[in-house]
Amino acid sequence: MADPAIFLTGTGTGVGKTVVGCALAAAWAARGLAPRVLKPAESGCERRGGVLHPTDAWALREAAGDARPLDEVCPYRYVLPLAPAHAAEQEGGPPDLDRLLGMIAALRGRPGPLLVEGAGGLLVPLSPDVQMIDLARRAGLRLVIAAPLGLGTLNHTQLTVRAARAESIPVAGIVLSDLTGEDTPAARRNPGAVRELCGAPLLGVLPYLPGIGEEIRRGAGPGTPAAARLAGAAGRLDLGMLGNT
């Protein structure tokens, strides 16, 4: 079976996508698989020493143990917390699709898993005439969808699956992320409902990890307690469905 090569998208913003990405990367790194990560564009970056710092991309790189320069992991960065295409209207040029496709192709030519994390959901504009879904389709990557476990996830998850299938993008699986740890009727019913309604594999439920957001902002590189928590959480998922892991 081939190494995983996935495009990680969310059903929206704030659904736990980066934590899911870090968990996958940490699990692969713990197995010695040398994963590579790419965050094509990140908005809402802070300035640190005159340089834009992409918090999510940095967290992914740390969790993966990916030693490449941050400029290669996140080539397009913006201050404004907007879709990349809209932030670029005020901060310079938008992401270049051909350049990103070339970067992804080069990374796929190396051994080990590849995780490309989008911004927001599939229909977020990357440039005036390109959406995230276009990048995923043109790159030939399988899709992993991160969705929240709680109430409201069924509609958004089904819409994301349908959007992907309309563009002939294979859905490798769905990860439901427990963002609260609350035992609610929706949290109990939604995993089965996603299986019934989406017609796509449910990789599992990523358990609630209190404080993990702050831990990954400090760094969850291989060997850290945060990396162990992330890899342990990913152990609840059926990673074998993604490829040679």
Q: Which residues are catalytic?
A: 39
| Closest among 189, 223, 200 to 64, alpha carbons compared | 223
Q: Which residues pair with 35 in a beta bridge?
A: none
Compute the distance between CA of residue 213 and CA of residue 196 in angstroms, rounded to an integer. Answer: 31
8 A C-beta contact, residue 7 and residue 118 = yes
> Long-range contacts for 71-77 (Cβ within 8 Å, ≥24 apart)?
72/103, 73/37, 73/38, 73/39, 74/38, 74/39, 74/40, 74/41, 74/42, 75/40, 75/41, 75/99, 75/100, 75/103, 76/40, 76/41, 76/42, 77/41, 77/42, 77/43, 77/45, 77/52
Question: Which tokens sit at 49?
Answer: 């020493």
| Closest among 222, 3, 213 to 110, alpha carbons compared | 3
